[in-house]
Amino acid sequence: MKFLVTGGAGFIGSHLVQALLLQGHKVITLDDLSTGREAFLQEVLAHDNHTFIQDSVQNRRVIKQCIDRVDAVFHLAAILGVKNTLEDPVKVIEGNIDGTRHVLELAFRRGIKVVFASTSEIYGKNASLPFSETSDRVYGAPSIHRWCYATAKSIDEHLCFAFADKGLPVTVLRYFNAYGPRQTNSQYGMVIPRFIHAALREEPLLVYGNGSQSRCFTYVDDMVRGTINALGHKANGLAFNIGSNRPITVLQLARMIVRMTDSDSMLQFMSYDEAYGKGYEDMPARIPDLTRSGAVLGFTSLVSLEEGLERTIRWSQGHGGA
């Protein structure tokens, strides 16, 4: 088969591109390199079955040219990150919604499958755990920009399901806290690369709040397996949680990374107001219900946190601490 991967030079996207090529497929990668890196695709840039196009999902003409050449689309391109959310909410809202609309409209014209990468952020402040795919969304006031990314992704999902009702084969995947090689320290402010970066440099690990907030971190190889499994027709018209169901607090994670890197780094605590400005809200816990993902996609998280962190630390050590 031939696939289009939008955002294919990004952290998850580049791993997905490589996996598809290893399976013998042809891949067109579209990425504007605003957060992705061409270096992430270095091993496959010259691959006979791979075409790299530097452009944006905002460019409808280019998207159409790509979609006209493929059998299915993995739509991973997105505007994300706390910095973007707080400083440029218009960029986040327009960048996510407009690009997804282009992909869905053009895929619908040809009737080809779309796998859309959403996020666990869409569950917002819902305190009822674990999150199932039918759980309610609970957001703060629209005047609080912190929620614009979750809102934009929710609208993207509404678009997906609206096109599904029209007959488009589309599947929504809600990623839970991906990590692994190529997730750099500067990329979106993610906690694991930030902690590893500091630990390898013997710098303080900055913990926001008191560190009691818990997350289920998911190794990128598991994310990619779940993403490819979503191509099947049984997944059409449905949303799936893709993640691990093993929670760990941020404080426990920081101590684990210090131990695994044999670092002398200390832990330093900072309030959310200091880090992001007054009024920033974070969720105390995020845990996915993986019942539907297991039953329909055959998905389960295979890489333990310890093994995934070992691989990620080795990669970071070989890339200057990333």
Q: Do 54 and 6 form a contact (C-beta atoms < 8 A)?
A: no
Task: Tell me, yes or no, if 149 is annotated catalytic.
Answer: yes
Q: Do 29 and 53 form a contact (C-beta atoms < 8 A)?
A: yes
Length of the chain, in residues: 322
Identify the H or E element spanning 115: strand 113-119
> How many Å apart are CA 240 and CA 228, to the nearest integer?
13
Local structure of residue 236 (DSSP, 8 states): T
| CB-based burial label for 5 (10 Å; 0-12, 13-18, 19+) | buried
Residue type, 170: V
Catalytic residue among 149, 188, 219, 276: 149
Q: Are strands 248-249 and 214-215 parallel, antiparallel or unpaired?
A: antiparallel
Q: Do 120 and 288 form a contact (C-beta atoms < 8 A)?
A: yes
DSSP 73-138: EEE------HHHHHH-HHHHHHHHHHHHHHHHHHHHHHT-EEEEEEEGGGGBT--SSSBPTTPPPB
CA distances from 29 to 17, 33, 63, 67 (A): 7, 11, 11, 11
Active site residues: 149
